Amino acid sequence: MRGVHITRFAALDGNGRPSKTLLPIRQVLRLENLAEHQAIGANKIRVETHYAGVQYPDFLQAKGLYQIKPQLPYVPGMDSAGVVVGKGSNVNRFRIGDRVLVNTALCKDGQGGTGALAEKVTVSQEACFPVPDDLPLHSVSNIGRNYCAAYHALKVLGDVSRGDLVLVDGASGGVGMATVELAKAMGCHVIAGVSSESKAQFPGQAGADRVLVYGRTKESYTNFKVDAKQAAKELGHSQGATLVVDVVNGELFDALVSCVKPLGTICLVGFTAGQRPIRPGLLLIKEVRVVGSLWGRWARENPVQFSNNMKEILAIVQGQKSGSSACIYPLEQIVDAFELFEQNKSRGNTVIAFPAANRKSKL
């Protein structure tokens, strides 16, 4: 059984401290033969992987800069999709041959968002969800990293309703594109922000009402703030956005605060541009709520509600034929897929195709 191994953290030294030399991702990532799974636990499911997702947090984790640091060496990957090839004696929800998506962040035994980038994965049944027959497996192979994160920000924390205005930055990336798609399906207006003109077409194709470029300088951030306020007015929201989904943070944050309406919400989903101190005086004047958004813990503690959310996500993906992958790489090119994030070239979903995707699964 083949799988991906991270052998050391690219940004840390042997003692787990920040290294003076950042290693290229290809020096810490290997495609290797892994030990075959043995007996399946009573509450476990074994899934033959057809597709698995790779997103920015997987890259960040491989550098040793993510909030969760697995024990080395480890198999990366939170999301995959495939076919059930084995199950424990207590599993009644699934049958051999069922098409499922897997999210390892939901495993009760602490798998913690890793382990999906292998030809077979064995996980607790709570981490699996059925996939409709007419929905391509590759389209759900990044549900956790992208769509669950976006849905949690939009509905669980942001509580958006039809007609609300959502502003999302980093809108050409996985979470950003998912936010655009889900928000539009919920009946919201959407302003999408991207860092360069070359990325503008992607959120536009996903349905954003306006796509604006915020660039990478203080001057461009100021221009973005002015443009976003004008766009909000044109869309019928003179006071600003109901919800801002912030994937970027960094120096852009102050401009985002200016774009949200009084008593609106900013959901912090990521910080691809780094972290900076938040000025409480600015939040006070704007009467803005800022909340961190991590969906995994909430999902484990609210399994029934999360299951309902997952059904709604899949219905939206199925109805819009969304979730389409911007980049699909064969397993043998796993390094190239990770390097998209190293080179800031990722767009939407990045997916790894396993050999089982090209043949009938051996049940």
Number of neighbours of residue 98 by Cβ within 10 angstroms = 17
Regarding whether 162 and 258 lie in a shared domain, the answer is yes
* Contact criterion met (CB below 8 Å) for 1 and 36: yes
What pLDDT score was predicted for residue 326? Answer: 64
At residue 91, the 3 state secondary structure works out as coil
Regarding whether 61 and 113 lie in a shared domain, the answer is yes
Phi-psi category of residue 78: left, alpha or beta, with phi > 0 → left and psi -120 to 50 → alpha:
alpha
Regarding whether 127 and 162 lie in a shared domain, the answer is no
Regarding whether 149 and 105 lie in a shared domain, the answer is no
What pLDDT score was predicted for residue 38? Answer: 82
- Decide if 278 is inside a domain: yes
Strands 29-33 and 2-6, by their bridges, are antiparallel
What pLDDT score was predicted for residue 112? Answer: 67
Regarding whether 92 and 180 lie in a shared domain, the answer is no
Which residue is listed with tokens 């669950």?
148
57 preceded by a cis bond (ω within 30 of 0): no
If one counts the domains in the chain, the total is 2
At residue 192, the 3 state secondary structure works out as strand
Q: Can you tell me the distance from the alpha carbon of 165 to that of 163, in angstroms, rounded to the nearest whole number?
A: 7
What pLDDT score was predicted for residue 320? Answer: 74
Cα torsion through 178, 179, 184, 188, rounded to 10? 170
What are the tens digits of pLDDT across the range 134-164? 899 999 999 999 999 999 999 999 999 999 9
- In Å, the largest CA–CA distance within the chain is 62
Q: Report residue 3 as tokens.
A: 């799988």
- Decide if 87 is inside a domain: yes
Regarding whether 200 and 118 lie in a shared domain, the answer is no
Q: DSSP letters of 277-289?
A: ---HHHHHHHT-E
- What phi and psi values does residue 257 have, to the nearest 5 degrees? -60, -35
What amino acid is encoded at 86 in this protein? G
Regarding whether 132 and 19 lie in a shared domain, the answer is yes
Provide CB contacts within 8 A for 217, sequence distance 6+.
Answer: none
What pLDDT score was predicted for residue 325? Answer: 53
What pLDDT score was predicted for residue 361? Answer: 41
Q: Can you tell me the distance from the alpha carbon of 337 to that of 319, in angstroms, rounded to the nearest whole number?
A: 28
Last residue of a domain, one of 295, 314, 348: 295
Nearest to 136, CA basis, from 82, 203, 206: 82
User: Domain residues for 276?
Assistant: 145-295
Regarding whether 152 and 90 lie in a shared domain, the answer is no
CATH number at residue 70: 3.90.180.10
pLDDT tens-digit profile, the chain (363 residues): 999 999 999 999 988 899 999 999 999 999 999 988 788 999 999 999 999 999 999 999 999 998 889 999 999 999 999 999 999 999 999 999 999 999 999 987 656 689 999 999 999 999 999 999 989 999 999 999 999 999 999 999 999 999 999 999 999 999 999 999 999 999 999 999 999 999 999 999 999 999 999 999 999 999 999 999 999 999 999 999 999 999 999 999 999 999 999 999 999 999 888 888 889 999 999 999 999 999 988 999 999 999 999 999 999 988 775 555 568 999 999 999 999 999 988 888 899 999 999 875 443
Regarding whether 160 and 100 lie in a shared domain, the answer is no
Regarding whether 117 and 203 lie in a shared domain, the answer is no
At residue 5, the 3 state secondary structure works out as strand
- Decide if 311 is inside a domain: no
Q: Report residue 245 as tokens.
A: 């989904």
Last residue of a domain, one of 276, 295, 314: 295
